[in-house]
Amino acid sequence: MIHTIDLHYHAGQERKDDVPLEPYLQHARLTGRKILGLTDHLGKYLNAQKPGRHYAASVEGLRDYRADMDANKDAFPDLTLFFAPEIGPKEDLAAIPDPVIDSSDFFIGEVAFPGEDRAENTEAFVTRMAALRDFSDATGREIFVAHPFRAAVNLRLIKRDAESWVYTMNPRWNGGFSIEELNTFFLLDLEVLADAATTHRLPLEINGNTQFRIRSSNLPAPLQMLWAAYAELKQRGVEFVPGSDQHNFQGGVGRIGGAVPADCFHALGIDAEDIHFLIRIATSPMQP
């Protein structure tokens, strides 16, 4: 079942103060997760402006996080744990130190999104995808593309008020969005994206936090468009991975965190056995 697979689970420097890794793994277990990609933003270790909260802000600190994960494995035999740093869109891939690569089972790669110009966004996206493919080939580490629609959702709904055409869109419970409508809303050319994703053999993430943000708008149509965009990509042969992108799980009243968007996977007709990325990481060099 897809909700048991969460390949984007933040549990490093962004943990709450004084909370060790163990409760984060306990939360994963309590919420039905079985396969985890433990992550942290790589920038919190390389060229960090602030000292680390739980580990040193250095390559050594990252290795300590990895060691912390390994030390917890015996206590969580029901969890399959992978170590998967998240690489920012501007990180110089060629400058990522070898010890970082050696400590990592796979990587999560963010892509750049300059802003309002669809052609520019698409170009930045596919250029980064090519670079991520080269990085994966050079390091022998699998990589997937993090939250491909995050920046567009932020721009349309989160970081400023929705424009009236977005606000007044009628829900379409049975889909029926044209690719042009989707490209306009997400400020990306989905055909070009799909082509690059298949050419460079890079899965795109179906990210829980993006779905949480889009649901926060309380507008049904944007979520329907997001699912429609994924359906377009799927039809064009793109591979996906599930990730909650949860950063924490303690809300005002208790256990509130992030979720793998299992409903979206279900709507797309994708189940756990369709996540081929899992098979590839299970045979990666770091695994015994």
How big is the site for Zn ion, counted in residues (CB under 5 A)? 2
Stretch that binds Zn ion, among 28-36, 123-131, 175-183, 239-247 (CB under 5 A): 239-247
| 64 or 245: CB nearest Zn ion | 245
C-alpha distance from residue 133 to each of 149, 174, 193, 278 (Å): 20, 35, 14, 17
In angstroms, rounded to a whole number, what is the distance separating the alpha carbons of residues 209 and 147?
A: 8
* Contact predicate 242/277, CB 8 Å: no
Quick check: 245 binds Zn ion (CB under 5 A)?
yes
Stretch that binds Zn ion, among 179-187, 237-245, 248-256, 271-279 (CB under 5 A): 237-245
- Quote the least distance from Cβ 63 to Zn ion, whole Å: 20
* Contact predicate 14/45, CB 8 Å: no
| 86 or 142: CB nearest Zn ion | 86
| 86 or 232: CB nearest Zn ion | 86
Residue found under tokens 């944007």: 222
* Contact predicate 245/8, CB 8 Å: yes
- Quote the least distance from Cβ 149 to Zn ion, whole Å: 14
- Quote the least distance from Cβ 84 to Zn ion, whole Å: 10
- Quote the least distance from Cβ 269 to Zn ion, whole Å: 26
Order across the sheet with 204-207: list the strands: 86-87, 106-109, 142-145, 204-207, 240-243
Best CA proximity match to 45, nearest among 78, 70, 12, 17: 12
Quick check: 205 binds Zn ion (CB under 5 A)?
no
Site string for Zn ion, 69-108 (x = CB under 5 A): -----------------x----------------------
Sites of contact with Zn ion (CB under 5 A): 86, 245
